[in-house]
Amino acid sequence: MSEFALQIDNLKKTYKGGTIALKGISLKVKQGDFYALLGPNGAGKSSTIGIIGTLVTKTSGQVKIFDIDTDKDVATAKLLLGVVSQEINFSQFEKVIDIVTTQAGFYGIKKSLAKPKVETMLRRLGLWDKRNDQARTLSGGYKRRLMIAKALIHEPKLLILDEPTAGVDIELRREMWDFLKEINANGTTIILTTHYLEEAEQLCKNIGIIDHGEIVVDTSMKDLLRKLDVQGFVLDLEEPLDNEPKIDGYNLRLDDPLTLVTSVNKDKSINKLFNELNKIGIKVKSMRNESNRLEELFIETIKNKHE
């Protein structure tokens, strides 16, 4: 058994119109990993996934799925791979159950064997009651579920999801998270792209950031979060202020008369800030973390690379 579920080596992609989508990315994802691939719009995430699933032809480079080179034995590689594309890609006029059963057939699964599998999968994803509905009548969230059911029907060992929770409501998103965690716990390696950094933080062990067709960060989530040396705090004040106070060593900003925002370096104590504020008669009612730390880091990283 191979150590890596996915190995990408020096992958390049130039589209017909001349757009260079990938400038030679290399990436390794360990078996059993839950890997987040992040990056701004147009960074090359979907292009990478498209190439892995052979929906997009590569310009050069190598892709291996569980050590199987997709140029050498694509059929075996594909048996191990499941992909949930960013865009809906099923026939709108077919019934939900037919779509999933047909997909099983495309993987060579006999109908008698596929039937119970399809039922389990549809039940698991809450699609069973809608099994006889035409796919086009499903709501967006259910269409996503159908995409996932389709990708999992042959029990792939590597599952890649391209923005599976885009446009999905909070409840369903949490459900999907639980579902993905469970699949991962059962041994499926998962790679996921998302624009919700909270999602990556919640789910993923390792993380890669891609920008302008290059991998700019490839590390573990823990290390990445540790690197965050600045933490933002939002302080709700008891009494309104006209101007932000000036305190040495701290960067303070008044969002509105009752809200003070600050970022504190890891090596500085937040206690000291409270003391200083106290001294000048500013009372803090409550305090919370500012936005998502990962988000800040993400924006920092991308910015730094292009300055």
Partner 1 sequence: MNKDLKLNIGITLWTLTSKEIRRFMRIWVQTLVPPAVTMTLYFVIFGSLIGPRIGEMDGFDYVQFMIPGLIMMSVITGSYANVVSSFYSVKFQKSIEELLISPMPNWVILLGFILGGVTRGILVGIIVFIVSLFFYPEFQIANIGLTITVLLLTSVLFALMGFINAVFADSFDDISVIPTFVLTPLIYLGGVFYSINILPDFWRSISMANPMLYVVNTFREGMLGISDVSISFSLSMIVLFIFLFSSFSLYLLHKGIGIRE
Q: Which is nearer to ligand ATP, 39 or 208 (CB)?
A: 39
Tell me how far apart the alpha carbons of residues 33 and 237 are, in angstroms, rounded to a whole number: 44
Q: Which is nearer to ligand ATP, 166 or 241 (CB)?
A: 166
Q: Does 202 bind Mg ion (CB under 5 A)?
A: no
DSSP assignment string, 224-260 = HHHH--EEEEEEEESS--SS----TT-EEEEEETTEE
User: Among residues 3, 15, 113, 229, which is the contact residue for ligand ATP, using CB under 6 A?
Assistant: 15
Q: How far is the CB of 13 from partner 1 (least distance, A)?
A: 9
Calculate the CA 171 to chain-centre distance.
Answer: 17
H helices of 153-292, where?
170-185, 197-203, 221-227, 270-279
Interaction pattern, residues 61-100, with ligand ATP; x per rule: CB under 6 A:
-------------------------x--------------
Q: Residues in contact with Mg ion, total (CB under 5 A)?
A: 3
**Residue closest to 151 by CA, chosen among 96, 84, 237, 56:** 84
Beta bridge partners of 162: 193
Q: How far is the CB of 172 from partner 1 (least distance, A)?
A: 23
Structure tokens at 226: 């540790």
Beta bridge partners of 82: 159
**Residue closest to 103 by CA, chosen among 126, 87, 130, 121:** 121
Binding site for partner 1 (CB under 8 A): 1, 15-16, 50, 53-57, 66, 74-76, 78-81, 83, 85, 87-93, 98, 102-103, 105-110, 150, 157
Identify which range of 44-52, 71-79, 243-251, 284-292 contacts ligand ATP by CB under 6 A. Answer: 44-52
Q: Does 47 bind ligand ATP (CB under 6 A)?
A: yes
Q: Which is nearer to Mg ion, 46 or 206 (CB)?
A: 46
Angle of helix 96-106 relative to helix 140-152, nearest 10 degrees, comes to 30
User: Among residues 6, 25, 29, 43, which is the contact residue for ligand ATP, using CB under 6 A?
Assistant: 43
User: Among residues 6, 44, 197, 262, which is the contact residue for ligand ATP, using CB under 6 A?
Assistant: 44
- Residue 114, Cβ neighbours under 10 Å: how many? 21
Sheet holding 259-265, edge to edge: 251-256, 259-265, 230-237, 284-289
User: Among residues 8, 36, 46, 118, which is the contact residue for Mg ion, using CB under 5 A?
Assistant: 46
Q: How far is the CB of 207 from ligand ATP (least distance, A)?
A: 15
Dihedral sign of CA atoms 265, 294, 40, 69 in order: positive
Q: How far is the CB of 112 from partner 1 (least distance, A)?
A: 11
Q: Does 19 bind ligand ATP (CB under 6 A)?
A: yes
Task: Residue 91: name its binding partner from ligand ATP, Mg ion, partner 1, none (Cβ under 5 to 8 Å by kind).
Answer: partner 1
Interface residue list for ligand ATP (CB under 6 A): 15, 17, 19, 21, 39, 41-47, 86
